[in-house]
Structure 1
Amino acid sequence: MLPVLRFTALFLVLLLLFDPVWRRVTRTGEAPLLAVLVDDSESLTLGAGPPADAVRAALDGLPADAALRFYRFGAEAAPAGRALPGDSLRFAGERTDIAAALGRVEADFAGRNLRGVVLVSDGRVTDGRNPAYLAERFPVPIWTAVAGDSVSGRDVRLARAVTNDVAYARSPLPVQVGVRASGYAGQTAPVTISENGRVLTRGAVELPAGGAEAVVDLTVTPAAPGVRRYTVAVGPLAGEATTRNNTAVVEVRVLDDRRRVLVVAGAPDPDLAALRAALEADRSLDVTVRTQRAPGLFYEGALPARLGAFDLLVLAGYPGPAADGQTAERLAASGLPVLFVLTRQTDLSLLARAFGDVLPAAPAAVRAGFAEAGLAPTPAGEAHPVFEGLGVDASRLSALPPVAVTTSRWTLAPGARSLAGVRRGGAALDVPLVAVRAGARRSAAVLGAGTWRWRTLPDDLGDLRGAYDRLLDNLVRWTTAPQDRRRVRVRPDRALFGERDRVTLTGQAYGESLEPISDARLTVAVRAPSGDVQREAMRPVGNGRYVVDLGVRPAGTYTFTAEAERGGVELGTDRGSFGVGALAAEFREPGADPALLRQVAARSGGAVVGLDTLGSFVAGLRERGALADRPLVREDETPLVGLPWLLALAVALLTAEWVIRKRAGMV
């Protein structure tokens, strides 16, 4: 016994010194899962025998299988557990986003034994990305069941309504309307544009066959600035499957096109006469002219006391020989955008001192002489908005009569761009003739005297007639283009929310240097159509951004005012509006889109399944082994040196061996 005890104890000690590991392997199986995605959107309610009834019947015919996991989806997907009775579907979703629904399933079942997805839908996607792209990398097959018929009934629908996002008050605004129809070939449908229930313009369109798009161009003229919402409508015609796809709302930001222009001239000059005639011919401009007569005095009267009331300062040869430094510095400090036109009367030295930091180019070395030169547009100028819409190609401007350019050397300011240079003897020189400068204060300059010649052209240059006026108009519009310098900006996440959408607003707050401010107190006051006002605080989310969830709102047009403060000091305000109403996005294209569902199935390795055979198909998946358990092999490793009882056993064996020897008198 003594050798056995000693050998066993020493064996355990030596075994632990080799750091052995106990490995245990367990083999089990994970039950399969099959996700069933059911389209719960409004589009399935169309038709005399709506697809919704077929979907309900198909769901009620599914076998009771523990593997099934149901989801209903519209704009978002929501799990419905292990059963989804057909009568629990409401088909009220205002959008359909199949890609988001598939993404939700992929995230929920990541790492689990998901064997496939059954997608029941009409395939009409009205939100999100194309699900066919997602299907290419989907981890399991997608079997699609088409709900509805691809051939819709008689219907007229507004395919699109396209117009500018920004327009000007009292200026015509074109709206292009696209109409599609089925079952009404050769008939004429009325098209209207209305605002607040009042029809502004009418038109008509002849409906082509085969679902082709017919286009009609209409025009509205915004009467006042602000955010305008125009309702574009087509039809209705007798016998339509639905009229909810006959209208669309377009939102346009209308700016005040009436701009106040202050023209300050250095002295009477032909260039001033041409400039004044072109500006006063534009009805959208309110032109005030002051021509220098003596230091501090002008022919038309005193210089306006409030220069900030103007939108643009035009320097027509100013400062001239009678200009005084005090008036020039006052004009330079006005903060107004500046358009400078050189004349022979310009005092270049005073111009450099007073306006050198304002204009896009300044004379670096003043010389008294002038030389004749032509205009040569630069590549940057040919692509610039100033040379667009002139009625001729920008390169054609080189045929304009020559002007007198000063022999002084001009230096472009930082950020300035030369749109046209000087041409002499057929060679283009690197000397600016038309230059612009962007930034917080825009400026432009025409550095040639005698531009009146561009307005009085001979017959052989008839195609260039009007180019001077249009060029001047473009310069005025570019320099006075609105720039967003607001320190507080709040906008709705959508211009039009659905009746079941949660209304959300996003805001931004900035400091004096337009740096983001994340610790401001930003609140919005929302006025409902009934006149009730509700105030809500916006939640900061970092980097000067703020959000607020106003919940689900009744239909109507809402306005809001936002206010921001920091440390008791007001940062600024903003205002805007949004609408709540029936989106009708689900009715834009009646009928199913089986082609998309075929793509989704094919790219994922699935197949198209008949909706009426959905129950037998799911039962067949189990029979074919497609819903099999997934083998799971679990390996556990336990280091024996970490088991204290082995060491205790070795000590106990040695102790027992010593006790036996002691009792036997062998020690």
Structure 2
Amino acid sequence: MIRDIVFSPLVPLPVLIALAGLVTALVIFAAWRGLSGWALRAVAALGIVAALAGPSLKEETREPLSDIVFLVIDESASQDLADRPAQIMQARAALEARITALPNVELREITLADAPDNQGTLLMTALSEAMADEPRGRLAGAVLLSDGQLHDVDLAPDFPAPVHLMLTGTPEDWDRRLVIESAPSFAIMGEEVTLKLRVEDQGAAPEDMTTSSILISIDGDAPMRFTIPVGRSIDLPLVLPHGGMNVIQFTLPEAEGELTTRNNSAMVQINGVRDRLRVLLVSGEPHNGERTWRNLLKSDPSVDLVHFTILRPPSKQDGVPVTELSLIAFPTRELFMEKVDDFDLIIFDRYKLRGILPASYLDNIARYVEQGGAVLFAAGPDFASADSLYRSPLARIIPATPTGRVIEAPYRPRLTDLGARHPVTEGLGGLQFADDEPAWGRWFRQVELEPEDQAETVMSGIDGRPLLVLDRVGEGRVAVLGSDHAWLWTRGVEGGGPQLELLRRLAHWMMKEPELEEEALTATAEGNTLTITRRSLTEGARSVTVEAPDGTVTEVPMEEVAPGRHMAEVTGGEMGLYRLSEGDQSAVMVLGPSAPREFEETIATGDKLSPVIKARSGGVFALSDGVPRLRLVEEGRVAAGRGWFGITPREAYVTQSTRLTALLPGWLWLVLLAGLSVAAWLREGRR
């Protein structure tokens, strides 16, 4: 039971203070003048002030509360390095024993792992959350068992007691790390791009290791080995080998004695794009569909278009002087012989043999396709005539033979079974299957074609006859559209159709854009989930082989979500490079950062937490020197020294009951004050 004297003034406190001041002044004046009985009157006056102050005796019954000490144990990934797990286990046991041995002290243990979404070690967040569940008046101290590498030091709470750090690791620890300082997200095909990287050593690294080997691999291919300096930024020039996503992996071989190789790798994803797509459009006599091609190609800002139109064949004799036909001669030789390889795509739109382009020019175009070029034939009636381009050296690359018949009849273009799976026509106009009825306008002319055995017919016309035929010739690609009525869709005849989308896809497939490859295995990463897509022209169940960064191989079944498209989702348990394979297709994808934030800095240090600990009178102790002793220190005193750390007892309690009793009853106050006043009067009268 605790007893104490408390006051409950019977008058407002300012009045009581003024009255006390007045009494004090009168007593001092009386004493100075030497008035008789001044001492008794002073006592009586002070007694009146005391009575008005309302003194009472307060009796409390209290139940003492135990002090609380937090032990925050960092079990993030960096704490698994070297002998740190053994240090943590030994220190944890010793601290538990020493803290729990103290009287009236409770231990609260908080264990934290890596934060989600690669946030690293959130040590201060864990301490703040633990504080929120306990009364501040009971907190006697906090002990952090960690390597000191945290990522939320700015969120340190206002802890009301000493905070100490027990540091894992040893002074001899060192680690090597690969840092990508800058890398572009995309690069122009054929142009050199520069990456900046640095190899840095942390901790007590050997002084004689001034260089390091580095392995560079693109899309999981065999790595190339180079030697680079340590501790200095270097520029790495690079030309992307293909369009689309390029995954470049940099790896440092493990050095003897370094803590971990988890930060020895880095991956960069660079999207290879074309600077400008160069297209040569060769038109025959002007017709309604010519503007459709021109508008399509001119509307794409990534396309450079050269349009070559035969307006006046040599056979036309109308008496116009040659000097008045044009200002300059059209550079046909330069286009079709010298500069043809500069084009990504050549389109022959209703062109026929008219003596303008010699056979050598056309043979050069065939050679251009065989070496990787692309040619599209938009066939009109002339394609089935004696002047057809099929009657030229181009015949060896054309995948469909004209029978010589031109059918003039209305029909609605449709997808073939293969076309429902081919990326050029897959889902065209919202169609998912070949037997879906397209709500498209009709065309009214078709050149009858007989496709080569290896050619792919993706659209059909009258009575199922081939309408759009695709083929690969050598390294290049060729397409034949057996009608010149695609422009009817653009004009909206009978509702029109997806003409622009069809021609755009066709042009980009011929220019080998990666997203339109028939056989492809691709993946995208979001969070810790890989979404894998397999596109193929063949049918059948499929499964993808996934190799995780740690070498674990898993076979994952794929679900067919659309004709020719299978998908699967894989939840990765580890961040890094995943290798995917299905049939003859392979791909690589990076899940999360190649080196998690937890491994950016692995050398144990108290520097980050030092301001927080110093402000709370704590200390930093290396566990390699042993676990320090524990002491009790008074509040406000230094709580750390050589070989010891301290906690502050808070002496918190809960009041169970309270009783107030007047210090003197009212009648006794009256008797005492009256007696003093009479005594003072008698003293003055006797004098």
Task: Give the alignment's TM-score, normalised by structure 1.
Answer: 0.41
Q: Point out the structure with max Rg over C-alpha.
A: 2
Task: Give the alignment's TM-score, normalised by structure 2.
Answer: 0.40
